[in-house]
Amino acid sequence: MFENLPEHPHIVVLTGAGVSAESGLKTFRDSGGLWEEHSIMDVATPEAWKNNPELVLRFYNDRRKQLDEVSPNPAHYALAELETKFNVHIITQNVDDLHQRAGSHNVIHLHGELRKARSERFPSLVYTLDHPEIKMGDTCQRGFQLRPHIVWFGEDVPMIQTASAIVKTADILLIVGTSLNVYPAAGLINHAPYGCRKYLIDPHETHEGSMYNLTHLKEKAGKAVPALLDKFLREFNR
């Protein structure tokens, strides 16, 4: 099945909200553009931050507290185990830390990290939080207000070039828990080499069309990813 692949393949994993949803984290797409009763335009745009920073901070403080109430699921743990056997990079659209808590180390966060804050004036000043709340008056070392370290709608995605370079070297590409509707993340799949073997894990019908070398596993991530891990271990005799 894996003929023409190197003995030590590079496996790249693109993950989205569906993986976190199986751990109990809600996504705004679950309710028609609302996220915990809030319109995305009110809490996830630069304009929202400018107009009502208190609301934005409160919203993400609540998300951070919710994160403490959930745990990684079997898909997260299977991906972490995969990393112990293969060269694996995870590129995630999720802002939670469930991949890391499961044991994964090579994780690229395209849309930021919920447990970090950054200066509203100097984006390179990023801080890991040791508490669940960012408050008005919390400032960076240069005296400017801290904001969530999240890539909001309308903002550039700083890690997209790094992610693209990683995908270009993939021998196997796993697409897990993402509808591939949010750009530029959705375009990453087009950067995979022609001969790259692709697996789409999604229980629903999708619009992947006739993408070359793609296998669609119509199951939830918590079931399909551990099964795929077992397949890889057998096929590569790990």
Q: Are residues 103 and 126 in the same domain?
A: no
Return the minimum-mean-pLDDT range out of 29-38, 49-58, 71-80, 101-110: 29-38
- Which residue is catalytic, options 111, 131, 149, 207? 111
Decide if 193 is inside a domain: yes
pLDDT > 80? residue 10: yes
Structurally, the chain folds into a number of domains equal to 2
Q: Are residues 164 and 136 in the same domain?
A: no
Q: Are residues 44 and 81 in the same domain?
A: no
Active site annotation includes 216:
no
pTM: 0.92
For 108-153, the pLDDT digits (tens) are 999 999 999 999 999 999 999 999 999 999 999 999 999 999 999 9
Average pLDDT over residues 31-60: 85
Return the minimum-mean-pLDDT range out of 162-171, 186-195, 198-207: 198-207
Q: Are residues 124 and 39 in the same domain?
A: yes
Decide if 213 is inside a domain: yes
pLDDT given for residue 208 in this prediction: 56
pLDDT > 90? residue 105: yes
Would you place residue 237 in the very low, low, confident or very high pLDDT band (cuts 50, 70, 90)?
confident
Q: Which of 126, 150, 174 is the last residue of a domain?
A: 150
Decide if 103 is inside a domain: yes
Strand partners, 38: 35
CA distance 171 to 166: 11
CA distance 44 to 58: 12
- Please classify residue 124 by burial: count the beta carbons closer than 10 Å to its beta carbon, then call 0-12 exposed, 13-18 middle and 19+ buried: exposed
For 56-91, the pLDDT digits (tens) are 999 999 999 999 999 999 999 999 999 999 999 999
CA distance 13 to 89: 6
Q: Are residues 104 and 130 in the same domain?
A: no
Provide the sign of the torsion angle of the four alpha carbons 65, 107, 14, 99, taken in this order. negative
> What percent of the chain stands above pLDDT 70?
89
Q: Are residues 221 and 191 in the same domain?
A: yes
Q: Are residues 126 and 212 in the same domain?
A: no
Would you place residue 184 in the very low, low, confident or very high pLDDT band (cuts 50, 70, 90)?
confident
Domain that holds residue 136: 27-69+118-150
pLDDT given for residue 31 in this prediction: 52
Structure tokens at 71: 């745990």
